[in-house]
Structure 1
Amino acid sequence: MTRLVRIALIVVAAAACSPAGPRGAAANDAGPGSNGMMDGAGYTVTVRDLGDGRFGVDYLLADAQSALIFSRSSGDYRVGAWSPVGSGVQLERLHGFDALLFDAPRTEFSLIVEPRFVSPQGDYSPYVGFSDGSLAIYTGQFEVLAVADTGSIAALDGNLGAWQGEQYTMGVRILSDRRMVFDGEIVDGSVEHTARGNGAFVYLGDGEITARRSYVGVLDRGLPTWVLEAMDDDMESIFETYETRWQHPLEERAVLYFAYGGDEQGGYSNKGSVIDRSILMSSSGQAMSEPSPDLRTYLRWFFAHEVAHQFQNLRGQGSGTIGESWIHEGGANTMATGLVAQMLGEAGPDYLSATYAREYAQCLPVLAAGPLETAHLRDQSGGFYACGALIGLVIDAATPDGDIYTVWLAMQALSEQRDEQRSRALFFEAAGQAGVDADLIAHLDRLIDGGADDPAAQLRRAMDMAGLAAEFDDNNQLITLQQP
């Protein structure tokens, strides 16, 4: 039995080719097994662009199965939009899972898939539409897990973590006449990659490719002009600032997809996703129609947060437990907020105060409820961002002749030297190496453990120890903040 993996992305290859003739007929006529099993895969999924807005999806399994569940079943978008081809295959929604049921064990089957542009809570969107009709496909939606029968599905009671079995590596092959963008490269004809527990975004369409020194991607040309112009200026500024602070550029350009859903709805809505070095954002709403300084500031912050992750993951091993995600999510918040404040010039100090006032207000109830590292078990995962940002702020201010980047660089070096994942212990060890006072580190360590009678007083004490000048109102809410 292997532990279920639902985080790591392993991209193996993008197969670029120039077909001798039109691929459309071949793609339409293909069926299960016609393209073979990919090397290193326990099963292969071939996704054929049918040219009419639908996709043919062919599964080839190494071992015959009687039933399968989709590992990503949130959103309930498959039933009614995915149709099995032929007899003996059923797609049903059972006990919180999208399930495939077979009359007899089989190794091959096909479906016709009509994309549904939904946004499952806490998961990647299966398809992201661009205003010109192009789209990005998230390949992780095709991952399946073997189960014995409907009784086994019922026994899971909607809990994916209760599944036991062999989680095979999935091979994904996408065939299309349309130009594709994958892993920062323009690809014709076929894209191939393998994944286990995750997937990748593959863009299909004729959208304009934006290639800059630090990133490459597709910016929806339907976006308002002011957004496109701001992106062109702001993204380079974000990368340049980070390259200075991290003391090196990215080894490979980031991959950026920015889709626009139009301005028919009021206000502003967006959803962002990050996989490996790819950043995807889909935005819409009437608030985007006219230039908005506040919205531009938010877009700067969003992309600065996500690009910070690119640099965080460049050296050493990955993150440790879910409970320790305050280290990288909070750290990215701290870095993004400081970077945007710098971009805002004279308005920067007010922006810092307002941002950390929100983080403070959001963090207090999390610490009052229990340890920070179990916040996700209390449905308080936002605490990883808010409390983590405040810890990052304190460490940033308390590092002599350095900042939060100094500590992160030290932690990356320790992780690399020891072949050890980033963790709370490693973070605080790096902070100590960077000169942060041992008493302050111990204080933060206790604060993370929770249980303090007055978490507000403990946070304020940490700020005082770091030399941060903070003003609070009568309700213990942060009003203004001044860095040393």
Structure 2
Amino acid sequence: MPLPIRSSCAGLLFVVFMGTAHAADPAPLRTELTLTHIATDKWRADYVFAEPVTAIELGPQIGTYRKQAWRLLTNGVDLVVQDNNESLRSNKPLTQLSVEISRYSNFELDQYAPINHFSDGGADFYLGFLYGSLGQSEHKRDMAVTLHLQGLTGETVLAPSKPGADLAGYAYFGPSKPARMGNANVIIDPLAPAWLRDTIADTTAKVSQFYEQAFQRKLTDTPLISVAMIGFDGEPGSISIKGGVVGGGVVYRLQGRGLMEDHPKRRAFMAGLVAHEMAHVWQNNLARGGIGENDPWIHEGGAEAIMLEAMRATGIFTEEMADQYAQKLLKECDDLKDDVTIYRGFYACGFKRFNSYPMAPVPLWRAMLTRSEDSDESYSESMIQAILREQPATQKAQQHSEHLQ
């Protein structure tokens, strides 16, 4: 997928990207999509198609999101659900279509949150649920989208770093201005407790700078890390954390009474999470290649291994804390019988594999980044083995103790 083009003018942000199409498929259809924040809890999505279409195939149903929050403004268009997939269908060809979208706070398991609301009225709006393939006679065509984002008067509007058909990302609308921390921009909900703000700020600044030095490359764009606080309800000590890396940035949705309690273990957990997600940002920091659809243990176990090296090198984890973290993962993998095909195995057993290689995680991933970008290959076990065969054996303990200046 080509890199996005982004510019800004009078508060209006444009993001241009191409849909993914196979060579034998019809060419993507040019589509202008304007998402406007029209009121505190309302947006309007206006589509303009270069040629008439009769449908937008939106993909899997997202709970009650579209049924509950979407109001079709174009006559003759209906929201249709079939085989758990949703589409907008018109009774005649059209070149324009508009939808009003209202506040929605639900979260569906294994799906991106459609909208994350901040306590000050800001919102992260997931763009991916606006995209789909276009129906045109007997053909389906991908979208080649030019996206315009328009906020309320005086509002901050931020586009994702890397939007696209498969990596849509979140757009931020709200009163907050991002704060620069290391090589990332960060927006933290004003409701967030001081310990959480301090942990996120300290970890983001230190770890992002470590990754830049460790991988010897700068980020192609400045990622946005946004943290929305949903509330402090639930059982004592409970914490719910949802989100992750999407669109080149990191989005968090936090909830639970446990967030009100400052404790070293909570700080360590949150710091590790921030460093893990930032590792994913760096895994994707390529013009081509990178993460594919296979071998999730490489991505997740690799992020755990990279994270732990960063936490050691920056001093966020003491050597004892880092060793305890590693041993916990190794034991978990032993209990899972080294199965890298199940969810927790992606993390624990993926980490165990990276921990066992004769190259330490940082130089190995540095080589993987270079090889992937040079060859346009996705990360894979065969790539790792090829790199290991080409590198002279080194003392792993010595690599692990290396501190970048």
Q: Confirm or deny a common fold (TM above 0.5).
A: yes
Q: Kindly state the Cα deviation for residue 436 of structure 1 after the two structures are TM-superposed.
A: 4.6
Counterpart contact for 1:208–1:219, Cα < 8 Å: no
User: How many Å apart are 1:391 and its aligned residue?
Assistant: 0.7
Counterparts of 2:338 and 2:329 in 1: how far apart (Å)?
17
- Whether 2:67 is the aligned partner of 1:79: answer yes
Q: 1:277 to 1:85 in 2, by over 3 A?
A: closer
Rounded Cα–Cα distance in structure 2 between residues aligned with 1:340 and 1:38: 35
Give the match for residue 169 of structure 2: 200
Alignment of 1:152-171 (within 5 A): 165-171=140-146
Considering only aligned residues, what root-mean-square deviation do their CA atoms show, in Å?
A: 3.1
* Residue of structure 1 equivalent to 2:189: 220
Q: Tell which structure's C-alpha radius of gyration is larger.
A: 1
1:23-62 residue CA offsets vs partner (Å, 9 max, x unmatched): xxxxxxxxxxxx9x99996222222211242112212122
C-alpha separation between the residues in 2 aligned to 1:56 and 1:353? 50
Give 1:289 deviation, angstroms.
Answer: 0.4
Corresponding position of 1:388: 350
Q: Could you tell me which runs of 5 or more consecutive residues in structure 2 were left unpaired when the two chains were aligned.
A: 19-27, 398-405
Please give the alpha-carbon distance, in whole angstroms, between the structure 1 residues aligned to 2:213 and 2:148. 39
Q: CA deviation at 1:143?
A: 0.6
Aligned to 1:463: none
Match for residue 206 of structure 2?
Answer: 237
Contact 2:69 2:102 in 1 (8 A): yes
- 1:99 equivalent among 87, 94, 98: 87
Map 1:412-427 → 2, pairs under 5 A:
412-427=369-384
Structure 1 residues 208, 171: closer, same or farther in 2, change over 3 A? closer
**4+ residue runs of structure 1 moved beyond 4 angstroms?**
37-41
* 1:310 equivalent in alignment to 2:281: yes
Counterpart CA distance in 2 for 1:18 and 1:415 is 36
Matches within 5 A, 1:225-304: 225-266=194-235, 267-304=238-275
2:400 alignment counterpart? none
Point out the structure with the larger strand share: 2
Distance 1:41 1:302, change over 3 A: farther
Q: Is the 8 A contact 2:37 2:43 kept in 1?
A: yes
CA apart distance, 1:70: 0.7
Q: Percent identity?
A: 20
Q: Amino acid of the residue matched to residue 13 of structure 1?
A: R
Separation in structure 2 between the aligned mates of residue 9 and residue 54 of structure 1, nearest angstrom: 31
Q: In the TM superposition, what is the alpha-carbon distance from 1:146 to its structure 2 partner?
A: 3.0
Change beyond 3 A, Cα 1:319–1:249: closer
Identify if the C-alpha distance between structure 1 residues 139 and 310 changes in structure 2 by more than 3 Å, giving closer, same or farther: same
The partner residue of 2:323 within 330, 337, 349 is: 349
What residue is the counterpart of 1:324 in the other structure?
295
TM-score of the two chains, using structure 2 as the length reference: 0.83
Distance verdict in 2 for CA 1:240–1:96, change over 3 Å: same
Deviation readout 1:159-181 (Å, 9 max, x if unpaired)? xxxxx832222332222222212
Distance 1:270 1:9 in 2: 32
CA distance in 1, matches of 2:283, 2:47: 36
Return the offset for 1:116: 1.2
**Contact 1:410–1:433 (Cα < 8 Å) also in 2:** no
Change (3 A) 1:134 1:350: same
Q: What SS is found at the alignment partner of 2:281?
A: helix
Higher helix share: 1
Shift in Å at residue 419 of structure 1?
4.3
Deviations 1:91-120 (A, max 9, x none): 233320222122222221212211312323
Question: Contact conserved, 2:61 with 2:84, CA < 8 A, in 1?
Answer: yes
Structure 2: how far apart are the matches of 1:389 and 1:311? 17
Q: Distance in 1 between matches of 2:368 and 2:97?
A: 48
Q: Give, in whole Å, the separation in 2 of the partners of 1:245 and 1:100.
A: 47
Extract unaligned runs of 5+ from structure 1: 1-7, 20-34, 153-163, 185-192, 367-371, 438-465, 468-484
Distance 1:359 1:299, change over 3 A: farther
SS in 2 for 1:291: coil
